[in-house]
Amino acid sequence: MNIFDITMDLHNHKSSVVRNIEYSIVRKLTLPQIRSIFTLLFIINYFTNTFVYSATNMSINPVVISSSVKQTATVIFLHGLGDSGNGWAEAMTQIRQPYMKIVCPSASPLAVSLNQGFRMPSWFDLFTLDESGPEDERGIKEAAQLVHSLIDNEIANSNVPSDRIALGGFSQGGALALYSAFTYKKPLAGVMALSCWIPLRKTFPAAAIGNKDIPIIQCHGDCDPIVPLKWGQLSASILKSFSKNTELKTYSGLMHSSSETELLDLQKFLKTVLPPV
């Protein structure tokens, strides 16, 4: 798959003027230049943030935001490559309802083949930009098992049923959220898939053993230079072949990032799939 995954979690909600200026600048850059810039951002992010990791692909202490009233639902959100749970915890807290608990785990450092073996927080390895190239099947499946364990722990420890748990993720984390949902047998509330793709797409629909009827919202910027919109559209087409309750929302001028409009759409989605009880 033609994926070079980066994390630009711009939750400061820049004005449209600033965003347009950014877009005009990026249009003048070549794709290799863009990738070099974002690789540098990875390095800066990695050495200026402190992470606590276990031997697995998840941190010992994921960012957890408890509900402000009695908990009746949980949102588990997975960050993108090079980020941590802290990168999305604030945004998820802003759009949640008071009865929702937020869990944002962090991936452990992994040598990413696509980035010349540089170690950065990653849920699984990325090998190539070629759409017909190999994917880290073992790593994806192992990461999904960890997500399943996180869901099971939430069910056991918080007394929240699986259908009151929503998954979400950005970029690589969104890809993992989709794969984890379809390979989990218990029913979930829904999935938020931001600026991402469906991994191991050729294994579907056979690989989907559960959650084929749950609501799924895909969100993608039409100016994304890293995970192009066409990959979101291809993934949407694949999902619709076996999952009938899916929606792809596109955002004009949005790059590999989030926006206030997108977050408002996610807030509406969470209210729908996790209503008060």
Provide DSSP, 17-38: HHHHHHHHHHHTS-HHHHHHHH
Sequence letter at residue 24? S
Does the annotation count 148 as an active-site position? no
Does the annotation count 224 as an active-site position? yes
Strand bridging mode 165-170 / 190-194:
parallel
- Identified catalytic residue from 84, 158, 171, 195: 171
Query: Would you call 130 exposed, middle or buried from its count of C-beta atoms within 10 A (0-12, 13-18, 19+)?
Result: exposed
Q: Prior bond to 275 cis, omega within 30? A: no
What is residue 59's predicted lDDT score, i.e. its pLDDT?
Answer: 53
What is residue 61's predicted lDDT score, i.e. its pLDDT?
Answer: 67
**153: its two tokens:** 């722990």
What is residue 82's predicted lDDT score, i.e. its pLDDT?
Answer: 94
Cα 236–Cα 241–Cα 247 angle in degrees, nearest 5 = 35
Contact between residue 119 and residue 112 where contact means Cβ atoms under 8 Å apart: yes
Strand, helix or coil at 175?
Answer: helix
What is residue 132's predicted lDDT score, i.e. its pLDDT?
Answer: 72
From start to end of the chain, where are the E strands?
Answer: 63-65, 73-78, 100-104, 109-112, 118-121, 165-170, 190-194, 216-221, 246-251
- Identified catalytic residue from 9, 83, 136, 224: 224
Count of CB atoms situated within 10 Å of the CB of 36? 12
Query: Would you call 69 exposed, middle or buried from its count of C-beta atoms within 10 A (0-12, 13-18, 19+)?
Result: exposed
Domains along the chain with CATH numbers: 16-271 (3.40.50.1820)
- Identified catalytic residue from 180, 235, 256, 258: 256
Residue pLDDT tens, the chain, 277 long: 433 444 434 443 333 333 333 333 344 455 455 455 444 444 444 444 433 333 345 554 699 999 999 999 999 999 999 999 999 999 999 999 999 999 999 999 999 999 999 999 999 999 976 667 799 999 999 999 999 999 999 999 999 999 999 999 999 999 999 999 999 999 999 999 999 999 999 999 999 999 999 999 999 999 999 999 999 999 999 999 999 899 999 999 999 999 999 999 999 999 999 999 9
Q: At what angle do helices 86-95 and 260-273 cross, to 10 degrees?
A: 60
What's phi and psi for 265, nearest 5 deg? -65, -40
